[in-house]
């Protein structure tokens, strides 16, 4: 028996023993665990599952053991993921700390900072949000104006951030601030970790077209930040920012893949087709409306092709051992455009039944699809617009002239 086969057996055993029953059921809209000081669990099993996995470091399976991570190899991590999928266990923790901040800290933070922050991320004790964008700076992130001025052992921060996800529920925020007002655009930016539990930090939810408010505006008024919370060097925050953005894009890219698992299962049908069949004429399992059918097929094929590409690039990366590559720009671009398209097709298939807001005879799934359709419109904007991705591809990958 090879080490990996042994690992697979042990892992399966451990998961079967330790995953609480509720956590083997499919995820519900409110069943996600976001962690943090004020974490609310909608079921006690969520807390248990987070605690057990967090202690083992398996919320961050490949992170080093010394900071509380799982310390798993690439292959072991793959096995863990496969076994979790096989057992149908839920994701224990959704966290911008895990997806974005953590990887950047591992690369850029001091030993003290790592010891301080990473274990709390892994255990879900601190919930993080991102303070990058500002009202005047969208795609042109580096034009940010929020200022941090040195004052003894602290920075004093003033300014405004926007698009801070769930900032009103978060404990800490990682921000880009201007510390060198004289320096060229990209060279005067620093990366600060700010505790939000202070008078100088206020948040205000932004209402979106979907009706939800997953984002906030966040205001800093003489907010106090100890200097130990500066990550990497002063005025060199842009290095951290770029690294972190790549992790963000990777995360966002995976959003386009919702339908692809179903699509790659063959005869069992795709999610899009199964949904559509409830609303359109079907004969011998075939959708009669050929125009719609071709659109669904095109979309399913794109999902399929996209998931094969993610797999290919990950297999290629495995050998070359590089971090996120320029190809992540393709994923962000394609994932978000594809997801938008998928929802437009759903709307077409469902007709008026997907256009409800309230009242009437809409099922909860239908109303959720309407809102989610509106939500997808942000996919190609957040984390770098599609236009920025196209610029990146044409300049960095294709090397086209400026």
Partner 1 sequence: MSLVLSETAAFLQDQTQRFAREKTPTSHFRSVRDSENPECFDREIWKQMADQGLSGILIPEEFGGSNFGLSGIGVVLQELGRTLTPSPLFATGVIGASFLTKIGTDSQKQKYLPEIANGNLTTCFAFEEGPRHKPIISKVTAEKKGKNYIINGKKSFVVDGGFADLIIIAAKTSKGPSLFLADKNSKGIDINIAKMVDSRNSANITFSDLEISPENILGEIDQAQDTIEEILDISRAALAAEMLGGALEAFEITINYLKEREQFGVKIGSFQALQHRAANMFTELELCKSCVLESLSCFDEKSNDIPRIVSLAKAKIGETFHLISNEGVQMHGGVGVTDEYDIGLYLKRARVAEQIFGNSEFHRNRYAELTGY
Residues 279-338 that bind a copy of itself (CB under 8 A): 289-291, 294
Query: CB of 266: closest distance to partner 1 in angstroms?
Result: 5
Least spacing, CB of residue 55 vs partner 1, in Å? 35
User: From residue 319, how far is each of 39, 69, 119, 172, 314 by CA, in Å?
Assistant: 39, 23, 29, 36, 9
Kindly state the smallest distance separating residue 139's Cβ from a copy of itself, in Å: 17
Residue with tokens 């003489």: 222
Distance CA 264, CA 303 (A): 8
Q: How far is the CB of 289 from a copy of itself (least distance, A)?
A: 8
- Does the protein bind a copy of itself through residue 401 (CB under 8 A)? no
Q: Which of a copy of itself, partner 1, none binds 234 (CB below 5-8 Å, type-dependent)?
A: none
Site size toward a copy of itself (CB under 8 A) is 4
Residue 316 binds which entry of a copy of itself, partner 1, none, with Cβ cut-offs from 5 to 8 Å by kind? Answer: partner 1
Chosen from a copy of itself, partner 1, none, partner binding at 395 (C-beta under 5 to 8 Å by type): partner 1
Q: Least distance to partner 1 from the beta carbon of 211, Å?
A: 8
Burial of 325 (0-12, 13-18, 19+ CB in 10 A): middle
Cα distance between residue 218 and residue 325, in whole Å: 31
Region for residue 326 given its phi and psi (left: phi exceeds 0; alpha: psi -120 to 50; beta: otherwise): alpha
Choice between 39 and 313, CB closer to partner 1? 313
Q: Which does 297 bind (CB under 5 to 8 A by kind): a copy of itself, partner 1, none?
A: partner 1
Cβ-contact 379, 339 below 8 angstroms: yes
What x-and-dash track marks residues 55-74 binding a copy of itself by CB under 8 A?
Answer: --------------------
CA atoms within 13 A on the CB side of 246: 15
For residue 317, the SS3 value is helix
Interacting residues toward a copy of itself by CB under 8 A: 289-291, 294
């Amino acid at each position: 028996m090879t080490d990996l086969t042994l690992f697979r057996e042990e892992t399966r055993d451990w998961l079967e023993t330790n995953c609480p029953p509720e956590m083997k059921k499919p995820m519900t809209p409110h069943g996600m665990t976001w962690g943090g000081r004020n974490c609310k669990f909608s079921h006690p099993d969520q807390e248990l599952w987070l605690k057990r996995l967090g202690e083992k470091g398996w919320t961050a399976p490949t992170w080093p053991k010394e900071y509380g991570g799982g310390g798993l190899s690439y292959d072991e991590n793959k096995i863990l993921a496969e076994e979790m999928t096989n057992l149908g266990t839920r994701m224990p923790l959704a966290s911008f700390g895990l997806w974005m901040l953590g990887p950047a800290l591992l690369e850029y933070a001091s030993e003290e900072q790592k010891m301080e922050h990473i274990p709390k991320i892994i255990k879900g004790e601190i919930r993080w949000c991102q303070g990058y964008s500002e009202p005047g700076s969208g795609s042109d992130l580096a034009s940010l104006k929020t200022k941090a001025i040195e004052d003894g052992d602290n920075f004093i921060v003033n300014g405004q951030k926007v698009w801070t996800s769930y900032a009103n529920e978060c404990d800490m925020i990682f921000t880009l601030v201007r510390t060198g007002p004289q320096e060229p655009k990209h060279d005067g930016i620093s990366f600060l970790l700010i505790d939000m539990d202070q008078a100088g930090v206020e948040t205000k939810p932004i209402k979106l077209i979907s009706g939800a408010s997953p984002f906030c505006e966040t205001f800093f008024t003489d907010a106090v930040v100890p200097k130990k919370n500066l990550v990497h060097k002063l005025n060199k925050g842009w290095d951290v920012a770029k690294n972190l953005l790549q992790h963000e894009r990777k995360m966002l890219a995976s959003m386009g893949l919702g339908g692809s698992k179903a699509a790659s299962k063959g005869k069992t049908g795709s999610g899009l087709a199964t949904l559509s069949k409830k609303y359109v004429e079907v004969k011998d399992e075939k959708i009669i409306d050929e125009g719609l059918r071709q659109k669904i097929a095109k979309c399913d094929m794109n999902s399929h092709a996209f998931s094969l590409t993610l797999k290919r690039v990950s297999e290629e990366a495995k050998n070359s051992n590089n971090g996120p590559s320029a190809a992540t720009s393709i994923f962000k671009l394609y994932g978000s455009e594809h997801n938008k398209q998928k929802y437009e097709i759903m709307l077409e298939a469902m007709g008026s039944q997907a256009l409800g807001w309230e009242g009437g005879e809409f099922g909860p799934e239908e109303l959720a699809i309407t809102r989610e359709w509106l939500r997808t419109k942000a996919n190609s904007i957040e984390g770098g617009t599609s236009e920025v991705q196209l610029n990146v591809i044409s300049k960095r990958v294709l090397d086209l002239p400026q």
